Amino acid sequence: MSNELTAVGVDVMTAGRDFWERYHEYRRARQKDERPDDPVRPDELEEKRLICTDPFEFEYRYEVVRDGAIISMFGGKTVRPGNPEYESNKHLFWTDFYVRPGERRRGIGASWLPVILELMDRHGCTIVSMAAEDKPGYAFLRWAGAQAKFSGAENRLRIADVDWAMLERWVKEGQGRSPGTKLEIHDGLLPESMWAEFAPQLSTMLNTIPWEGLDHGDIVVTPEHMRYHNDRLAAGRETPHTVLTREPDGTMSSVTDVTWAAYRSTIVHQEFTGVLPSARGRGLGKWIKAAMLLHLRELYPDIQWVATANAGSNAPMLAINKRIGFRQYRAGKEYQMTRDQVAARTRSLKPA
């Protein structure tokens, strides 16, 4: 691997302080390169989040170290048998790896391809997904033979620019167009008594996300998934807030949720926003987005930004966000390769 360099597997459950010290130095360097304006998660919270093991996926981490410093790190995952998403997702392997700028063009990035191939074969995966947000990443993935399948962007809203009167109108219009629909606001984790009802309805909406040309499986949320997700939020000291609407028969017709954390107190992360296809055209998306922002203004008067991710093809949500004032902050693409393409490129790395 790049001559003298070797990838070593990392088990975060048993890792010593020497690993954590070099990992925190590495992740800060990566964030300074990729997201220099964002607050850094405190070391303690990062460690707690990483050791909150996902029971639904196989997860792998490797590091390449030189002179006591990580110069590249790799993460990969795929679904576990028993996960309700297994049958439709078992062919997929997801990866993320990064090489420090000063170490690039030395074959370190390419050296992760044999690792990917071995892990894909171990689990019988036939498609690998890799993402990029900058020119070096795009160039590497094109060189590897990957194809861009999905485009998206992180969009941000500057709170100082919000037209609060417009949002108040949207709330009134939503109520007026759906007088039998009830708006609910939940601060903190949803009560466990809601999970059995909430999970399948959320799954239905999540599976309306436009994935463009990306090979993907079904999203299946269960109460057990929600428990794990809540454990990770708690480990990272993230506070969730959820706004949803219910129809007269109790059906959840739309939902939006955000997270706030003290270490990034000026930035709220907008997570998923969805409306049932059967309930679209009534302004529910505008209603819940407006209601959430008005609520956040009361809860967190010091917030300056709201950050969210959107598919480039999700025209209805992009239109709402643009009217609110969201603007593109950074763009990215998801690439995919077949197992055979990875194998062919891996063979080309070996000396004749």
Number of domains making up the chain: 2
**Could you tell me if 208 and 299 lie in one domain?**
yes
Q: Residue 344: inside a domain, yes or no?
A: no
**Could you tell me if 90 and 211 lie in one domain?**
no
Going by pLDDT thresholds of 50, 70 and 90, the confidence category of residue 10 is very high
**Could you tell me if 113 and 30 lie in one domain?**
yes
pLDDT of residue 348: 93
Q: Residue 347: inside a domain, yes or no?
A: no
Residue 76 has pLDDT above 80, yes or no: yes
pLDDT of 160-180, one tens digit each? 999 999 999 999 999 999 999
Q: At what angle do helices 223-235 and 43-50 cross, to 10 degrees?
A: 160
The greatest distance separating any two alpha carbons of the chain, rounded to the nearest whole angstrom, comes to 72
How many whole angstroms separate alpha carbon 279 and alpha carbon 249? 13
Mean pLDDT of 329-352: 91
CA dihedral 114, 117, 123, 124 (to 10 degrees): -160
Q: Residue 133: inside a domain, yes or no?
A: no
Domain membership of residue 111 as a residue range = 7-125
* 3-state SS string for 189-216: CCCHHHHHHHHHHHHHHHCCCCCCCCCC
Q: Residue 43: inside a domain, yes or no?
A: yes
Going by pLDDT thresholds of 50, 70 and 90, the confidence category of residue 312 is confident
Q: Residue 352: inside a domain, yes or no?
A: no
How many whole angstroms separate alpha carbon 167 and alpha carbon 296? 12
How many whole angstroms separate alpha carbon 330 and alpha carbon 155? 7
**Could you tell me if 75 and 165 lie in one domain?**
no
| Residues 206 and 274 sit within 8 Å (Cβ to Cβ) | yes
178: DSSP letter: -
pLDDT of residue 2: 47
| Residues 194 and 212 sit within 8 Å (Cβ to Cβ) | no
pLDDT of residue 313: 87
Q: Residue 23: inside a domain, yes or no?
A: yes
Mean pLDDT of 203-215: 96
How many whole angstroms separate alpha carbon 64 and alpha carbon 108? 9
How many whole angstroms separate alpha carbon 290 and alpha carbon 52? 33
pLDDT of residue 322: 96
pLDDT of residue 350: 66
pLDDT of 101-113, one tens digit each? 999 999 999 999 9
**Could you tell me if 62 and 160 lie in one domain?**
no
**Which comes out higher in pLDDT, residue 320 or 3?**
320
End position of a domain, from candidates 125, 146, 162:
125
**Could you tell me if 80 and 205 lie in one domain?**
no
Closest CA to 186 of 329, 342, 291: 291
Which CATH number belongs to the domain containing residue 67 in this structure? 3.40.630.30
**Could you tell me if 262 and 200 lie in one domain?**
yes
Percent of the chain clearing pLDDT 90 (strictly above):
95
**Could you tell me if 256 and 205 lie in one domain?**
yes
**Could you tell me if 102 and 214 lie in one domain?**
no
* Distance, C-alpha 92 to centroid of its chain: 16
**pTM (two decimals):** 0.93
**Could you tell me if 21 and 92 lie in one domain?**
yes
Q: Residue 149: inside a domain, yes or no?
A: no
Q: 3-class SS at 346? A: helix
**Could you tell me if 107 and 61 lie in one domain?**
yes
What would the two tokens of residue 128 be? Answer: 């690998």
Q: Residue 171: inside a domain, yes or no?
A: yes
pLDDT of residue 1: 45
Sign of the Cα pseudo-torsion (25, 152, 263, 226, in order) = negative
pLDDT of 252-278, one tens digit each? 999 999 999 999 999 999 999 999 999
